[in-house]
Amino acid sequence: MNKILFSSISKKFVMALAGLFLLMFLPVHLVINFLLLKSDPVPFNKAAHFMATFPLVKIMEVALIGVILIHITWGIYLQIQNWLARPVGYVSGNKSETSFFSRFMIWTGASVLTFLVMHFFNFYFVKLGLVAGNPEDFYTLAHKLFKIPAYNYIYLVCFSLLGFHLYHAFSSAFQTIGLNHRLWTPVVKVVALIYAIALPAGFAFISISLWLFR
């Protein structure tokens, strides 16, 4: 049983499924974040309250945390195995033509993780009561954070790197679960490109709007 669960293909399969689950969560978060652009704090706070209290969402939250942890730990585990598979590198480097962003997945992933930790301290731990703050007014909290230039710099860099991560992750996940098709794979790659640009651009738009135009 262990051989099946821990085979290289199974590990990649788990990574891909976890990644696809996370891909579905991001647009939901973005739609809610767009409510920050309203001058009225009530819609955003209501949405945040709904997300924090609705039972089905609470179940999804547990699943989401679990999936994030699986994606991170499996990703690090796989990367360590990959490094160990080539203990001596090439002096002349690797000049093979590859998908550019695929070479840096561990590092773009690490930057997303860094942001995630910051995000948890700023919001999620406030909701859990572990960090001081008003969990019923995330609107004001978010607006205050987006007035700090350094926060915006980090935010924009991390979301750009998230875009790089998503671009490879999207099409790679389909390949890993065995869905490669002569006609559909090029379509998946185009959708991946649109997704990888649109999602971070949406988050960046909110950040820049609140930072410079409010």
Partner 1 sequence: MNLTLKIWRQKNAGTKGSFATYRMDDVSPEMSFLEMLDALNKKLVEEDKYPVAFDHDCREGICGSCGMYINGHPHGPVPAITTCHLSMRYFKEGDTIWIEPWRAKPFPVIKDLIVDRTAFDKIQIAGGFISVNAGAAPEANSILVEKKKSDDAFDSAICIGCGACVAACKNASAMLFVSAKISQFALLPQGRIEAKERVRAMIEKMDEAGFGNCSNTGACEAECPKQIKLTNIARLNREYFKAY
Task: Please report, as ranges, the residues that interact with partner 1 according to CB under 8 A.
Answer: 3-4, 7-13, 78, 81-82, 84-99, 102-103, 105, 168, 171-172, 175-180, 182
Residue placing its CB nearer to partner 1 in the complex, 93 or 129: 93
Both structure tokens of 83 = 């490094």
Name the DSSP class of 60.
H
Give me the least distance between CB of 207 and partner 1, in Å please: 30
Give me the least distance between CB of 95 and partner 1, in Å please: 3
Distance CA 78, CA 7 (A): 11
The total of other beta-carbon atoms located within 10 Å of residue 68's CB is: 17
Give me the least distance between CB of 4 and partner 1, in Å please: 6
Question: Left if phi > 0, otherwise alpha if psi is -120 to 50, otherwise beta: which for 129?
Answer: left
Distance CA 68, CA 7 (A): 21
Question: Left if phi > 0, otherwise alpha if psi is -120 to 50, otherwise beta: which for 141?
Answer: alpha
Residue placing its CB nearer to partner 1 in the complex, 56 or 91: 91
Cβ atoms 199, 163 nearer than 8 A:
yes
Give me the least distance between CB of 111 and partner 1, in Å please: 17
Q: Which residues contact 61 (CB under 8 A, 6 or more apart)?
A: 51
Residue placing its CB nearer to partner 1 in the complex, 134 or 175: 175
Residue placing its CB nearer to partner 1 in the complex, 8 or 73: 8
Give me the least distance between CB of 160 and partner 1, in Å please: 21
Residue placing its CB nearer to partner 1 in the complex, 29 or 181: 181
